[in-house]
């Protein structure tokens, strides 16, 4: 059992934002496992086996990757962005915890990647310059009441909030509900950013405020950033000063 399993993230999309360590792991792989569109971002090598699967089948995909590694294959599990941020790395360890005890002895590694939040922030300046948090708005794996509670407390603590998975066809109304909740705590003038396809050639940024933000602007390729009380615009950029008072 000399196989291995490396969990990688492709970064937000642009090839230059994929790390060298991830490229090396991909080049050495005998098997690539992942959601089809993420596998499409990865350079193909002859003799590599591809195992594309549906986006939701995370645990199944993790188990497949672990079984292949047990057979001596060099498996790379491919996520978008960073593999540990709302992605496959946790699913792999969940599968290890619940699965064959031999899986605990496998050579398993995680390579970091550029997560969407960082690519989105870089498109607009430095909105994550102070304390911030990341919340996934998807209630596939957790209750909506949990999300509401986290949004409320993050807003009360004046974090900058990065929202992953702000909307999908199955969940068109949640971002609007999130904005309504945040408006009760944060000022209407708080900067809100919709960053679509960050870190790709098609990146689009909309800078607006909590009072006027239109939730229908977000789709599955959008990262939404809601500022803290100190987050502000300067020229065409948005930044959050590092100091609490926010005075230049």
Query: Which residue ranges make up the site for ligand SAH (CB under 6 A)?
Result: 9, 12-13, 79-82, 85-87, 115-116, 119-120, 164-166, 195-200, 220-223
Pairing of strands 222-226, 160-164: antiparallel
Q: For residues 1 and 102, is the Cβ–Cβ distance under 8 A? A: yes
Shortest distance, position 102 Cβ to ligand SAH, whole Å: 28
Compare residues 152 and 200 and give the one whose CB is closer to ligand SAH.
200
**DSSP per residue, 48-106:** -EEEEE-TT-HHHHHHHHHHHHHTT-EEEEEESB-TTSSSHHHHHHHHHHHS-GGGGGS
Q: Among residues 110 and 119, whose Cβ is nearest to ligand SAH?
A: 119
How far, CA to CA in Å, does 218 sit from each of 34, 62, 209, 224?
25, 29, 14, 8
- Minimum distance from residue 111 beta carbon to ligand SAH (Å): 12
Q: Which is nearer to ligand SAH, 165 or 231 (CB)?
A: 165
Residue nearest to ligand SAH (CB): 81
Nearer Cβ to ligand SAH (86/103): 86
Q: Which is nearer to ligand SAH, 69 or 197 (CB)?
A: 197
Q: Which is nearer to ligand SAH, 81 or 227 (CB)?
A: 81
**Least distance from ligand SAH to the Cβ atom of residue 21, Å:** 16
Phi, psi torsion values for 35, nearest 5 degrees: -70, 135
CB of 13 to ligand SAH, least distance (A): 5
- Measured CA to CA in angstroms, residue 86 lies from 46, 77, 116, 138, 155 at distances of 30, 14, 11, 10, 21
Distance between CA atoms of residues 225 and 208, nearest Å: 10
For residue 14, the minimal CB distance to ligand SAH (Å) is 9
Q: Give the shortest CB-128-to-ligand SAH separation in angstroms.
A: 14
Nearest to 28 by CA among 39, 43, 15, 14: 43
Token readout for 110 is 């995680």
Q: Determine contact, residues 96/66, Cβ cutoff 8 Å.
A: yes
């Amino acid at each position: 059992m000399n196989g291995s399993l490396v969990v990688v993230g492709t970064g937000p999309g642009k090839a230059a934002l994929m790390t060298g360590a991830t490229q090396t792991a991909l080049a050495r792989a005998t098997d690539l496992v992942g959601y089809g569109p993420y596998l499409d971002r990865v350079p193909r090598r002859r003799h590599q086996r591809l195992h594309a699967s549906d986006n939701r089948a995370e645990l199944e995909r993790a188990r497949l990757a672990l079984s292949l590694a047990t057979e001596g294959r060099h498996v790379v599990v491919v996520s978008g962005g960073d593999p540990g941020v709302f992605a496959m790395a946790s699913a792999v360890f969940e599968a290890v915890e619940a699965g064959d005890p031999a899986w605990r002895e496998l050579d398993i590694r995680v390579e970091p990647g550029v997560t969407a939040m960082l690519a989105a922030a870089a498109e607009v300046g430095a909105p994550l310059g102070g304390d911030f948090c990341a919340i996934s708005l998807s209630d596939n794996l957790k209750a909506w009441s949990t999300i509401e509670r986290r949004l409320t407390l993050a807003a009360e603590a004046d974090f900058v909030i990065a929202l992953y998975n702000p909307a999908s066809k199955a969940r068109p109304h949640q971002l609007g509900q999130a904005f309504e909740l945040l408006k009760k705590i944060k000022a209407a003038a708080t900067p809100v950013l919709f960053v679509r396809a960050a870190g790709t050639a098609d990146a689009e940024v909309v800078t607006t405020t909590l009072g006027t933000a239109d939730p229908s602007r977000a789709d599955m390729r959008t990262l939404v950033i809601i500022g803290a009380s100190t987050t502000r615009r300067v020229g065409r950029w948005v930044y959050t000063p590092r100091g609490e008072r926010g005075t230049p």
